[in-house]
Structure formats: C-alpha cells, structure tokens
Chain A
Amino acid sequence: KNEVEQSPQNLTAQEGEFITINCSYSVGISALHWLQQHPGGGIVSLFMLSSGKKKHGRLIATINIQEKHSSLHITASHPRDSAVYICAVYSGNQFYFGTGTSLTVIP
C-alpha cells in the first residue's frame, strides 16, 4: 500500500499548455512537499504547504487537507519545466514519497 499516490505517471505537453499534477495521500500529515528533479540531477524543494495555496512564478500548489489531496499547476509551460515532480508528505517521524510524475514539455 502506498501512502502517497501521484497521477499521472507520465505527462507530455506542448509549450505554453497549462499542466496539473495530482497527489493523494492516506496518512495524517503536518505538511506536504512538492519536489523537482531534472534528469540526472538532484532533488530540490519547490513548495512546502500545510493549507491553502502557494504561488512561485508560474508554479502554483494547492492542498485540501479534508480530502487529503494536493495539486501542482504549471502555467505557460516551458521546455525547461521538463523534470520529474515528486509529492512527499511528513507523517509520524518520516517522509513518504510518491513515485513521481515525469513531465516532458515539447517546444
């Protein structure tokens, strides 16, 4: 059983499209993280949120605690957004990770 489920697993978009990646979790959490990993690269934190909505540039993250669901939106997608996006939650004393969504943005 996976504590964190992401969808879709793979996503291909044309440059400029609006993109949504979804994350559902089954455990009680204090915060949810969205992470980004470029091919062959390290993992960087995009957002940490425990309620509502956060925005950073073209990226928007929302969370609904009651429904145990979060979404990551990318507006006006660009080829440099091509990466794996990982949802993670903190519960108990450890983090649980989704398997990631691989996004490819085509020029």
Chain B
Amino acid sequence: NAGVTQTPKFQVLKTGQSMTLQCAQDMNHNSMYWYRQDPGMGLRLIYYSASEGTTDKGEVPNGYNVSRLNKREFSLRLESAAPSQTSVYFCASSERFSGANVLTFGAGSRLTVL
C-alpha cells in the first residue's frame, strides 16, 4: 500500500549514543517532515524539507540533523542522544492537490533514551 514507512518502530538508546530514523514515502510528495510528539504538547516540528535538496529547521531542531537523500527518503539523525529526546517521532509527507495540501503520516517510532 502507498504511504509513509518509517523505521525502526521502537528503539532504546543510552545517553550519548547515536542513531538514525529512516523515512520513505512512495506517493511522489515533495514535502517531508519530522515531528516529535510528547504528552500534553502535541506535535512539534523538528525539521522539514519542502523539496528534494532542501531542509529547514522547525520549532525544536536542537540535537537533530536531517538528510533529504532523494525525493522519497528523509532521515533524522540523533548524534548524541539525551534523555530529553525520549519521545515518539513521526515522519510525514505532503503534496498540494486541488488547492489543498494532503498530509500522510508514518506509523511512528518510539524512542527511549536512558
């Protein structure tokens, strides 16, 4: 089925370890996003990519880096994980159709940093 695939679904890290969350979409969307979701705070934008080759910081970019590898793939890297990065991470993609932007989410990645 078409959609957004993100991996891994679950990950436990120790403080200071690094990891990369992978995201791929097969809907030919131009825009891709990484969000984190924390209790009581809703979805917060970490980074986004409006098109292949471009990335921009969102609301909470500190401690993260991203790569828009091609139109399909947008990865999120934690270089030195901290307990404050314990969260559920969602990748999403978007494209403008008929005057409005459709939005599709991946299934989420639950990250725990000890």
Q: Do A and B interact?
A: yes
A residues in contact (CB < 8 Å) with B: 30-31, 33, 35, 41-45, 48, 50, 86, 88, 90, 93-95, 97-100
**Binary per-residue interface labels of chain B (5-47) against chain A in the complex, 1 for a CB within 8 Å, 0 otherwise:** 0000000000000000000000000010100000011110100
Interface status of B82 (Cβ within 8 A of chain A): no
**Chain A contact surface mostly:** strand
**Chain B hits for A93, CB < 8 A:** 31, 48, 50
* Interface footprint category on B: 20 to 34
Is the Cβ of B42 less than 8 Å from the Cβ of A31? Answer: no
- The complex places the Cα of A97 from the Cα of B38 at a distance, in Å, of 13
Report yes or no: B100 in contact with A30, Cβ–Cβ below 8 A: yes
Given contacts A30-B99, A93-B50, A95-B94, contact A45 B106 (CB under 8 A): no
Assess whether A86 is in contact with B33, with CB atoms less than 8 Å apart: no
Q: How far is the CB of A85 from chain B (nearest CB, A)?
A: 12
Bound-complex Cα distance A94 to B79 (A)? 25
A50–B99 CB distance below 8 A = yes
Chain A residues, CB < 8 A from B104: 45
B100 and A48 within 8 A (CB):
yes
Among residues of A, the one whose C-beta sits closest to the C-beta of B59 is A94
**Bound state CA distance, A50 and B100, in angstroms?**
8
Q: Mark B92-112, 1 if CB is under 8 A from A, else 0.
A: 101000011111111110000
